[in-house]
Amino acid sequence: MKVGFIGLGRMGRGIAGRVQHGGHDLVVYNRTREKAAELAKAGATIADSIAGASAGRDVVITMLADDAALNQVARGDAGLLQSLPKGAIHLVMGTHGVEIVRELEQAHARAQQTLVAAPVLGRPDAAAAGQLGIVVAGASDAVNRCRPLLEVIGRRTFEAGIKPEGATAIKLANNFTLACAIQAMGEAFSLVRRYGVQPQTFYDVLTEGLFASIAYKGYGKIIVDGTYDQAGFTALLALKDADLVLAAGGAARVPLPSANAVRDRLLGAIAHGDGEKDWAVMALEQARSSGLD
């Protein structure tokens, strides 16, 4: 397929590498051109603009940090709505709000283009290894056209219906659930530490019992070792997601009290200068509130 790719952050570079590994004709664009250097060495073409990454493409994938960036790439001057060929697909793989996905779906339809939402589940190392989970939603024919890409990008694709906002809601709910797990671990680790328990002991109890899962093992290990500087997903990005979750809940009249607790803990961590650290730093913020660090 002829694929354009916009947004070469840590996740984007890994996903674009998988697209290239799958033998697709790849054109990439990023505001910071240097981030495309490795892909170019492997044969990708570097575009100088969004329009350049869209011209003649069957699909353009965006992997962008937030709604503002997505809005600018899609609606800005010579953006996707103006540059993507009629009949082409905008495959949105970043984590975004329900409202902007809904609005852009309609805008692309008016431009005789199609939006498919396919947010991903996993960290940058999983992206590079083709081991992401992908939640996909959109018109059936468009989703089917994207399958050759989804198959090289992820380990499994989860179908979420014909409305792109469905995939968006699942992605936000998944991140929300994981954030709550991290928050709960932070509270629990602080509790046992106040009673003189070594964090490693509690970690072993958690991860060799009822909580023997990737989430608790991975993030629990970060908390025990204090390796917050090795960020796979930053506190600043997590705060963005917390705001999106609360907005989605508000729009659907779904109270999400735990999301407010997570957001407050993230705000505290960011206020202490930890915004660029891994979002597991919520546990450090909890420890500080408990008089431990």
Whether the predicted pLDDT of 31 surpasses 90: no
Domain boundaries along the sequence of the chain: 2-162, 168-289
Active site residues: 171
Residue-wise pLDDT for 226-281, tens only, equals 999 999 899 999 999 999 999 999 999 999 999 999 999 999 999 999 999 999 99
Phi, psi of 158 (to 5 degrees): -105, 125
Mean predicted confidence (pLDDT) in 174-188: 97
3-state secondary structure of 14: helix
Count CA within 13 A, CB hemisphere, residue 120: 31
For the chain, give the percent of residues with pLDDT over 70. Answer: 100
Angle between the N-to-C axes of helices 67-75 and 98-110, in degrees from 0 to 180, rounded to the nearest 10 = 10
Q: For strand 45-46 and strand 120-121, is the pairing parallel, antiparallel, or unpaired?
A: unpaired
Banded model confidence at residue 123, pLDDT cuts 50, 70, 90: confident
pTM (global) more than 0.85: yes
Architecture per CATH, domain 168-289, reads as Orthogonal Bundle (1.10)
Q: Is it true that domain 2-162 has CATH number 3.40.50.720? A: yes
